[in-house]
Chains A and B, each alone.
Chain A
Amino acid sequence: MVALRRPWGALAVLAGLLLAQPASAQIFKPETFKLDNGMTVVVLPNHRVPMLTHMVWYKVGSADEEPGHTGLAHMVEHMMFKGTKTVAAGQFSRIVAQNGGRDNAFTTADYTAFYQIVASDKLETVMRLEADRMANLRLDEKDFQPERQVVLEERRMRVENEPASRLDEQTTAALFLNSPYHHPVIGWDVDIERYRLADVVDFHTRWYAPNNAILVVSGDITARQLAPLARKYYGVLPARPVPERLRPQEPAPAAARTVLLRDENVAQPAWSRDYLAPSYRDGDVRHAYPLQILAEIVGGGTTGRLYTALVVEQELAADAGVGYDPSRIGPSVFSFGVSPRPGVALDKIEAAVEGQIAALLKDGVTADEVARAKNRLRASVVYARDSVNVAARILGASLASGQTIEDIESWPDRIGAVTVAQVNDAARAVLKPERSVTGRLLPLRDGEGASR
């Protein structure tokens, strides 16, 4: 098949690879312990090659921002590379590189993570640096002002230059009425332009405490080797109170919504539908495992129900898929996305998807479909173990969004225990019109695309 870039991907910013690699697995068998200051440590040994991934996850994300400060969590992530009492601005990444390592960071609605991938004998160097910027960040206005511009350029690149991303922001804002997931992780431009360096410093001070952080080290290391280093660099940092993480409940949804974005840059129309859905931690959480099976049955690759019906049989669409990520503290989204074939109207796409949903709700899924989906999901656990980096990300993301090691390790069992009736119940609970936002991406006038 042709790998099309997905036209939807409302979840992509938030969930990333977790969609493809279910948080998972009896098989990780991580070792875990807590430092005296409350910092959680997770070790995932893998001795294939003498390298490791060192990650620190902070339990804070864009959903923890205050009104008028959207995007501040992401701005703080950027400013974490700007210097401490003893390491000058820009030196962090330079030192990592001088040690042959790679480093980066990312922010989502629920967490912010920093990582270095290094040869295992460089672990202590990066631990010293990472602990230093947790405790001793020293920021300067002359570094802040250009970095604000960098973030505005990042927003232009990721969102404003891309009509599909602009529509995603709008559908997400329409879906979440009360949850802070309403606003984009990168923030609204009007806020990015206005917050001050003092806001960055204040946010860092409030949230970047060891008792609000998780250390994940994956690769050529054992817990025995790591424990003394973790105590030496992170264990000495004092714990301090961190704010409560507020995830206001969504009110009962009352009306199906449609968001239409017409833009002169659009050449290829797109259709999406997002349903407000429970997560592992929010709403009717018993549906979280059945919904993963449902997503596999309806949206699983080129043999899922949606692709088979719309792309192969009805020949209306070029691509069609489904997304669902339960690893969130607040509510989640069960989403459909379709890329129409040339000349096919979005009304036809919408009718075809609704026909599939109606049939699903009326007749339910079959025992055979559920059995096959379970097989595939369980196989994905084995693949998830293959990559040192992916394993570290799955563990860190799951823990930072409110799951326990026990939850992660029993994922295959819990998936295996889901019944046909539970899948059908979950579908009927979630796929209701009033829970949904439909997104339509169109050129300025029907039948016209951007000029070629």
Chain B
Amino acid sequence: MRTVPKLIVVALCLLWSVSAHAVAVEKVVSPGGIVAWLVQDHSNPIVSLSLAFRGGAALVPDDKAGLASMTVALLDEGAGDMDSQTYQARLRDLSVSLGFSAGQDALYGRMKTLTDHLDEAFGLLSLALTEPRFDRQAVERIRSQMLTDLTRQIQDPNAMAQRAFAKLVYGSHPYGRAAEGVPGTIEAIDIPDLQAFAKTRLAQDVLYVAVAGDITPERLGPLLDRTFGGLPAAAQPAALEQANVLTDGRVEIIRRPIPQSVVVFGQEGIGRDDPDWYAAYVMNYILGGDGLNSRLMTEIRVKRGLSYGVYSFLAPKERGALIEGTVSSANDRVAQSLRLIREEWAHMAENGVTEAELADAKTYLLGSFPLQMDSTQSISALLIAIQLDRLGIDYLDRRAGLINGVTKDDIDRVARRLLDAGKLSAVIVGDPEGF
């Protein structure tokens, strides 16, 4: 029961507490009990909103793969008494941008409006979420767009490699399918499927909302009720089984007549709630993180010119995490790139990191984190990510301590636990020599 009588603002977390102008995150609870995190910024007449519903593409049955993506793509293609063109024209005339997407574990939405059109923008968002129409013409148009996009992926070696790698490591688990489905399953989706998915997945108990920009808690509270109050209280219970991540060192080749081979590699990773998460996070930065300075980048790009870029990253899906990476090299050099990656993998597992590397990694990870808060849209997106990761509104205060607390021993331990060069699996799309 939602009995909260009035607007509550539970402050707050100071994002830049060392600074004169800290960014404050407020927790706004609407009269009807809808929660949103808010960062006020009245310097421009703009409001950005990000939202998520926990539970995404992995929850649909195999024979309807792509249903989540198709449903959310149709939310802004006609709602309430407006058909698709009327709805889209309204957004456009008000200069409101609105979009939805589906990940494996969550559905995402984002909206940006001028303060002048706040009421109408939230009204349009509400209609999209609570009264999507799924008109036949719009459904067929979106279906054709999805099929076209899938066809284009066939000529995109990066997309091919990503898809094949997911299949390789997750097998028949839903994570092994692409969120966008395949032609056969997209053709099998009909209007009742879309209606049912929207009705069962877009609900208040799995909803997360974050807002940044030119709006006060007093103004936001009632808008939250009007926008989200019409959603069902609870999503249909859904349980996703734990994935059995298979990485046994195999290399799968997909032959393509292209000059450069594209590689996706990885092995089982570490969950976001694992006590060693932060150690793994720092370790990965040193191994293959941002920029030109990682070990992989140094060995493969800087010293040898074998690739434009090589990266590794933690992919902590809810039910089966990976540590994953990408590289692309000319067909006659890709074997050397992959060999060097295995060497670095083994070197990190055996020897860990140096104190100097650890110190540099900490200053970078602490200093660069706030730099992503470049716009109201990026601030609201960050707040949603924090909520989905169940980190709490004080996370921005705690993050520095969590990273500073990582020791060389922590990293050496987590590297030994995670990295096994012999089990590093890969998919190569191209015409690689030596395989």
Residues on A lying within 8 angstroms of B by beta carbon are 1-5, 7, 46-51, 81, 90, 93-94, 97-103, 117-119, 122, 145-154, 156-157, 160-163, 220, 264-268, 300-303, 308, 311-312, 315, 318-319, 339-342, 372, 375-376, 379-380, 382-383, 385-390, 449-450, 452
Q: Within the assembled complex, what's the spacing in Å between the Cα atoms of A200 and B237?
A: 62
Instruction: Establish whether residues A312 and B93, one from each chain, have CB atoms under 8 Å apart when the complex forms.
Output: no
A380 to B113 CA separation, bound complex (whole angstroms): 11
8 residue pairs from A and B, CB less than 8 Å apart: A119-B370, A265-B256, A302-B92, A303-B92, A375-B93, A376-B95, A387-B375, A387-B378
Tell me the smallest distance from the CB of B361 to a CB of chain A, in Å: 9
Cβ-neighbour of A318 out of B101, B145, B304 (below 8 A): B145
Q: Which residues of A contact B257 (CB under 8 A)?
A: 264-265
Given contacts A47-B21, A301-B88, A379-B95, contact A163 B155 (CB under 8 A): yes
Cα(A302)–Cα(B308), bound, Å: 35
Known contacts being A3-B99, A376-B95, is A156 close to B259, with CB within 8 Å? yes
Q: From residue B27, how far is it (CB to closest CB) to chain A in Å?
A: 20
| Contact partners of A161 in chain B: CB under 8 A | 157, 258-260, 262, 328
- Do A98 and B363 touch across chains, with their CB atoms under 8 A apart? yes
Q: How far is the CA of A382 from the CA of B94 in the complex (A)?
A: 13
| Given A1-B73, A303-B88; 14 other pairs, CB 8 A cutoff | A48-B21, A48-B43, A50-B19, A94-B360, A97-B363, A118-B367, A146-B305, A147-B305, A153-B306, A153-B330, A265-B257, A318-B144, A382-B46, A386-B376
Residues of B within 8 A of A342 (CB): 144, 147-148, 151
B276 at the interface (CB under 8 A from A): no
Which listed residue (A49, A100, A146, A312) contacts B303, Cβ 8 A?
Answer: A146
Q: Which residues of A contact B304 (CB under 8 A)?
A: 146, 149
Rounded to whole angstroms, the CA-CA distance of A303 and B76 in the bound complex is 13
Residues of A within 8 A of B76 (CB): 1
Distance, CA A151 to CA B20, complexed state (A): 43
Q: Does B252 contact A (CB under 8 A)?
A: no
Report the separation of the CA atoms of residues A81 and B363 in the bound assembly, to the nearest whole angstrom: 21
* Complex alpha-carbon distance, A380 and B44, angstroms: 12
Chain B residues contacting A119 (CB-CB under 8 Å) are: 367, 370-371
**B114 interface contact, C-beta 8 A:** yes
Residues in A with CB closer than 8 Å to B99 are 1, 3
Whole-angstrom distance between the alpha carbons of A268 and B149 in the complex? 8
> Which chain B positions have C-beta within 8 A of A151?
308
Q: Nearest residue in A to B327 (C-beta to C-beta)?
A: A153
Residues of A within 8 A of B373 (CB): 49, 51
What's the nearest-Cβ distance from chain B to residue A81, in Å?
A: 7
The interface residues of chain B, by DSSP majority, are classed as mixed
Q: Which of A2, A51, A102, A388 has the most CB of B within 10 A?
A: A2
Q: Is the CB of B371 within 8 A of A51?
A: yes
B321 CB–A CB distance under 8 Å: no
Set of chain A residues within 8 Å of B377, measured between Cβ atoms: 386-387
9-residue interface stretch from B165-173, B285-293, B411-419: B285-293
Q: Known: A49-B21, A99-B367, A157-B260. Contact between A312 and B85, CB under 8 A? A: yes
Q: Are B367 and A90 in contact (CB under 8 A)?
A: no
Q: How far is the CA of A191 from the CA of B181 in the complex (A)?
A: 42
Given contacts A2-B146, A93-B291, A146-B305, contact A375 B95 (CB under 8 A): yes
Does A300 lie within 8 Å of B92, measured CB to CB? yes
Number of interface residues of B (CB under 8 A): 79
Given A1, A98, A308, which contacts B145 in the complex, CB threshold below 8 Å?
A1
Chain A residues whose C-beta falls within 8 Å of the C-beta of B258 in the assembled complex: 160-161, 265
Contact A93 B292 (CB under 8 A): yes
Chain B residues in 8 Å Cβ range of A163: 155
B402 contacts the other chain (Cβ, under 8 Å)? no
Instruction: Determine the chain A residues whose CB is within 8 A of the CB of B328 once the complex forms.
Output: 153, 156-157, 161
Q: Which residues of A contact B404 (CB under 8 A)?
A: none
A residues in contact with B367, CB < 8 Å = 99-101, 118-119, 122
Taken together as a complex, chains A and B put the C-alpha atoms of A312 and B152 apart, in Å, by 20
Q: B66-80: which residues lie under 8 A (CB-CB) from chain A?
A: 69, 73, 76-77
Q: For residue B305, which residues in chain A have a CB less than 8 angstroms away from its CB? A: 145-150, 153
Beta-carbon contacts of B106-126 to A below 8 Å, as 1s and 0s? 000000101000000000000
Contact call A341/B148, Cβ cutoff below 8 A: yes
Find B260's partner among A156, A300, A315, A452 (CB 8 Å cutoff): A156
Question: In whole angstroms, what is the CA distance A99 to B363 when docked?
Answer: 6
Looking at the complex, which one of A2, A162, A375, A385 makes contact with B44 (CB distance below 8 Å)? Answer: A385
A47 to B, closest residue via Cβ: B21
Contact (Cβ within 8 A) B148 A268: yes
Shortest beta-carbon distance from A26 to chain B in Å = 13
Q: How far is the CA of A3 from the CA of B99 in the complex (A)?
A: 9
Contact B375 A390, beta carbon cutoff 8 Å = yes
Q: How far is the CA of A93 from the CA of B137 in the complex (A)?
A: 51
Of chain B, the residue at the smallest CB distance from A27 is B44
Contacts of A150 in B (CB 8 A): 301, 305, 307-308
**Which B residues are in CB contact (< 8 Å) with A51?**
370-371, 373-374
Question: Which residues of B357-373 have CB atoms within 8 Å of chain A's CB atoms?
Answer: 360, 363-364, 366-368, 370-371, 373
